[in-house]
Structure 1
Amino acid sequence: MKIGVIGLKGAWSSEQLAKAVAEKTSREPRIFEMQDMRLDLPSGRAIVEGEDLSTYDALIIKKIGRQYSPDLLDRLEMLRMLEGRGVKIFSSPYSILRVLDRLTCTISLQLGDIPMPPTTITEDVDHALAAVEEYGEAVFKPLYSTKARGMFVLKPGPDARKIIEDYHQEYNTMYIQKTIDLNDSDLGIVFLGGKYLTTYARCKTTDSWNTTTVNGGKYAPIDPPQEIIDLAQKAQAIFNLDFTCVDVAITPDGPFIFEVSAFGGFRGLRDARGIDAAAHYVDYVINKVKG
C-alpha cells in the first residue's frame, strides 16, 4: 500500500506521521511538500521529487505550508484535483478548506448553533472601535494564523483608534473577539473518524492572555463532562474531518468553541495522554483504504 504524507520535512508532527506510515506499510517514509509539486491538469499527474502522487493509494495531509496564508487555499485546490481523480486523501481538501480560514470556520460554527465568544467582523475602523468599547476588551485575530500568532488584545482608550488603523493597514477584514475568562486553561478535544478519542488541557504558566505552548502553555490530562464532549462532537461533525482537535473554553458563562482544527493535536496527545496520534491515524487510514 502506497501512502504519502503531505507535510513539512523536519517538522515533528509530519515526521511522526511519516514514521508511522513506514512502520505499518514497510515502505520508505516519504514527506511531500506542496511547494515542490507540479500538477499537470490534462493527465492528472502530480509530480513531487520524481514521484507521481496520483498513483498513491492514499495521502495524509499534516501540513500544507510553514505559514498560514491564502496561498494554502490554492494548494488545497491542487489536492482537491487529485481527490477528484480518485486518490483517497485524509482529511478531504474540501473539508480542510472550510476550517483553514478563521472566518469560514466561524461562520460554519455559528450557522450550526455552536456557542462562541461574541465576535465582530468588519472592514470599518469605526465599527471595530465600537466593538472594542462594547466588549470592554477584545482580541484581534488574523484570518490565517495558528498558536495566537499575529493576535493582540486591545482595551478602550485614547490610543485604540490609532492601533486599529495601523492594524487595518495590514488586515483589511478585521476579526474581533471578546476576551473571555479561560480560568487559566482551555481544552483540546480530539476526534478520529468522527469518534471521540481523548481530551487534553493547555494550561497557562505565564501572564500571557492565551494558553498556547508558544507563549508558555503546558499540556495536561483532563476528562471533561460528557456534555462538553457532546458539544465538541457536534462542532466537529459540521466539517467531516478525519482527524481534528476542537478548542473549547469552559467559562463562567458556559462553554465556548474557539475553532475546529485540521492539523493540531499530535503533541498534546503525546505529552498529556501518552497517545501516539500518528499510529492511530495511520491505522485508521489503512482500514479506510482497504474498505
Structure 2
Amino acid sequence: MKLCFLVEEQYRYDGMPVEVISQLREWGHHVDVLRPGSSLIRVSDAVRAGSHDAWVLKTVSGGPGLTLLEAAAAVGLTTVNDARSVRGVRDKALAAAVGRSGGLPVPMTYAAARPEFLAEIPDAEFPLVVKPADGSSGRGVRLVVSPGALAGMKEELAAEGMLIAQPYVPNSGVDLKVYSVAGELYAAQRSSPLHPGQTVFERRVPLSAEVAAVVAAAGAVHGLDLYGVDVLLGPDGPVIVDVNDFPSFRQVPDARARVARAILDLARGGGSVMGSPALRVPATAGEAG
C-alpha cells in the first residue's frame, strides 16, 4: 500500500509515528512523510485523487497538518482518523459540546475568547481547570483555585487564544489514559499535571468495565478509530477530560506493530470501522507495560 504521514517537527523523532512508519516500510509498504510545519509543500501535487491509499495525521493541535488532511479527504482520499472527527476533537470546546450532547460524562464547559470573560463564571464553580481550546500534550493546563487567582492570571492567559474552563473534578491525584487500537482498549495510570510535587509515573493498569464502556462510547460519539481518552475517577464515577485523535500509545504492548496493522486495516476498509461491536479489553490488560 501507499501511505502518506503528516508529521510536525515536534514529532519528527517521536516513537509515534516514527516506529510505525518504520514498521510499515519493513512490511514492504510505501510511506511518504510530509512535514507541513517546516517545509514548502506543492499542495496541488501532494493532494490529488489516487495519490495514496490513506493519509495519517500526527501533528500538534494548532498545526497546518489538519488542513492538508481535510484537503485529502475533500478529494476522496481515505484518512486515518476521519478528518471531520479529528477537527472535532482538536477543538476542545467543540469536543466538550459534542461529548455532552452525545451523553458522555464531560464536565460543564465554558469557552471564552478573552480571559476576562472567565470572570463571569459563578464563584461556586471554582476551583477551575483552564486550558487552551487548541491545546495538546497537557500544554497550558492550569488549576485556578479562586476568582482572585483567575484575575491574577489574566495576562498569561491572554496569550493562549480561545480558552475553555471546567470545574475541577476531585480525584486522587492520578488519571487514566485509555488507548483504543483496532477495537482493543489499554489503560495506563498517570500522575496528574494538576498535582505538582508528586512522583511522575505512568504504568499499565487493569481497565474496569465501567471505564471501558465510557471510552468505547467516546470513540463512537466522536467517530474515531485510533484514539486516546483521558479519564478522571471522580466521586460520581468516570469523567472524560480530553480526547486525542492520535496519542502516543505508550503502554500499549507491541504498539509499533499493533498501530501499523490498524492503519493498514483502516486504509483497506476505506476509513472508519466505528459502529462495529469489536471494542474490547484485552485479557492482558492488567500486565505491566
Which of 11, 15, 30 is the aligned partner of 1:12?
A: 15
Q: For residue 26 of structure 2, what is the aligned residue in structure 1?
A: 23
Once the two structures are TM-superposed, the CA of residue 290 in structure 1 deviates from its matched residue by 3.8
Which of 138, 162, 165 is the aligned partner of 1:176?
A: 165
Once the two structures are TM-superposed, the CA of residue 179 in structure 1 deviates from its matched residue by 1.6
SS for the counterpart of 1:144 is coil
Which of 209, 212, 230 is the aligned partner of 2:194?
A: 209
Q: For residue 274 of structure 2, what is the aligned residue in structure 1?
A: none
Query: Where does the alignment leave 5 or more consecutive residues of structure 1 unmatched?
Result: 270-274
Q: How does 1:147-226 map to 2 (within 5 A)?
A: 147-156=137-146, 158=148, 160-164=150-154, 166-167=155-156, 169-171=158-160, 173-193=162-182, 195-204=183-192, 208-210=193-195, 217-226=200-209
**Larger helix proportion, structure 1 or 2?**
1
Distance 1:133 1:283, change over 3 A: same
Counterpart code for 2:141 = M
SS for the counterpart of 1:110 is helix
Equivalents in 2 of 1:97, 1:79: separation in Å? Answer: 10
Counterpart code for 1:13 = M
Equivalents in 2 of 1:85, 1:126: separation in Å? Answer: 42
**Equivalent pair of 2:186/2:251 in contact (CA under 8 Å):** no
1:256 aligns with 2:221: no
Distance 1:122 1:30, change over 3 A: closer
Equivalents in 2 of 1:139, 1:173: separation in Å? Answer: 14
Aligned length: 263
Equivalents in 2 of 1:109, 1:218: separation in Å? Answer: 28
Q: For residue 86 of structure 2, what is the aligned residue in structure 1?
A: 96
1:245 aligns with 2:228: yes
**Equivalent pair of 2:96/2:109 in contact (CA under 8 Å):** no
Which of 94, 118, 126 is the aligned partner of 1:128?
A: 118
Q: For residue 59 of structure 2, what is the aligned residue in structure 1?
A: 64
Q: Provide the identity percentage.
A: 19
Once the two structures are TM-superposed, the CA of residue 123 in structure 1 deviates from its matched residue by 4.7
After superposing the two structures, state which structure 1 stretch, 121-130 or 258-267, moved more.
Answer: 121-130
Distance 1:160 1:247, change over 3 A: closer
Where relative contact order (Cα < 8 A, 6+ residues apart) is larger, the structure is 2
1:210-250 deviations in whole A, cap 9, x for unaligned?
58xxx963211111221211111111211222200111111
Equivalents in 1 of 2:34, 2:167: separation in Å? Answer: 39
What is the aligned-residue RMSD (CA, Å)? Answer: 2.7
Q: TM-score, normalised by structure 2?
A: 0.79
Q: TM-score, normalised by structure 1?
A: 0.79
Once the two structures are TM-superposed, the CA of residue 84 in structure 1 deviates from its matched residue by 3.0
**Equivalent pair of 1:60/1:90 in contact (CA under 8 Å):** yes
Distance 1:288 1:13, change over 3 A: closer
Equivalents in 2 of 1:290, 1:172: separation in Å? Answer: 39
Q: For residue 43 of structure 2, what is the aligned residue in structure 1?
A: 39
Equivalents in 2 of 1:56, 1:126: separation in Å? Answer: 46
**Equivalent pair of 2:49/2:76 in contact (CA under 8 Å):** no
1:255-281 deviations in whole A, cap 9, x for unaligned?
100121102142232xxxxx1223112
